[in-house]
Amino acid sequence: MRYLMSLMLGLLFVVPVTYAAETIDGKALLQKVDRNLEPESYESYRKLVNIEPDGKKKEFVIYSIKNGRDKMVTLFLSPANDKGRSTLRLGDNMWSYIPNIGRPIRITSLQSITGGVFNNADIMRVDYTEEYDVISMVDQDSTWLLTLKAKTKSVAYDQLKMTVDKTLTLPTKIEAYARSGMLIKTLYFKDLKDFGNGIKRPATIETDSPLYKGYRSLMMYDGLKNRKVAAEVFSLGYMSRIGELR
């Protein structure tokens, strides 16, 4: 009898800990990562830097507005030969507008409008929860390792392995994989910065790829704040007018 009572008392202490671990919601965690990285609707200024193996660099300055979880427009401010160029993303669909051509041209997520390691899906990123399901979570003491699976075949990467800082609920590293299981690239999140109005996130994302050995690309946020604009902004007819929003 004493043995049975001791066993029952022991279970009282063990069961709650196990239950708490099992109730952690991967989807809710990923949603929090999305919102900690940026508001649902916002405007930002970014500098993209492509670095070649010999140290040669090419820089771009981009103004962006995102609305909701899956709409984004960008405007190139520099270099001079790209100034006025804009891009539009509506869910899985993307277009590029070049003033000299005067009409939108459809582009794909795996192409790169800047020619570096970042592709169009990286530059015009929508919410992770919009494109991926969490299929596993691994507790790594100070971090979570989330494995994300693409919801459709149109998503740029079939699978992501995201390391999330438990204290900040922000990613520190993301490995992106093809459907074959091949590593396409790794993204590193650095330089935590307070942008004001409760937005505190890494100001720099760096990426490299085994497919482009010796090449690196950086994405550096200079400004990021809440902003919501009219729905008409996210249309093919408005792409030539994105500069009016600044």
Domain ranges of the chain: 26-245
67, pLDDT greater than 70: yes
Residue 16: pLDDT band (50, 70, 90) is very low
Reported as a single tens digit per residue, the pLDDT across 188-210 is 999 999 999 999 999 999 999 99
Give the CA distances from residue 134 to residues 17, 32, 57, 177, 178, in Å, rounded to whole numbers and listed in that order: 22, 13, 36, 15, 17
Of the chain, the end-to-end C-alpha distance in Å amounts to: 77
Average pLDDT score, the chain: 91
23 pLDDT tier (thresholds 50, 70, 90): low
pLDDT (mean) for 32-39: 96
Helices (H) and strands (E) in the chain, counts: 4, 13
As a whole number of angstroms, the distance between CA 242 and CA 77 comes to 11
DSSP-derived secondary structure letter, 178: -
Architecture of domain 26-245 in CATH? Answer: Clam (2.50)
pLDDT tens for each residue of 222-238: 999 999 999 999 999 99
* pLDDT > 70 fraction of the chain, expressed in percent and rounded: 91
Alpha helices in 140-219 (DSSP H): none
Categorize the per-residue pLDDT at 7 as very low, low, confident or very high, splitting at 50, 70 and 90. Answer: very low
Contact 158, 150 (CB under 8 A): yes
Tokens matching residue 85: 């160029």
**Res 82 pLDDT > 60:** yes
Work out the average pLDDT over 178-188. 97
List of long-range contacts for 172-176, beta carbons under 8 Å, 24+ apart: 172/143
Integer Cα distance of 72 and 86 in angstroms: 11
Query: Residue 12: is its pLDDT beyond 70?
Result: no
Q: What burial class does residue 94 get, using C-beta atoms within 10 Å of its C-beta: 0-12 exposed, 13-18 middle, 19+ buried?
A: buried
Residue type (1 letter), 61: V
The answer on pLDDT for 9 being more than 80 is no
Read off the pLDDT of residues 95-153 as tens digits, 9 standing for 90 and up. 999 999 999 999 999 999 999 999 999 999 999 999 999 999 999 999 999 999 999 99
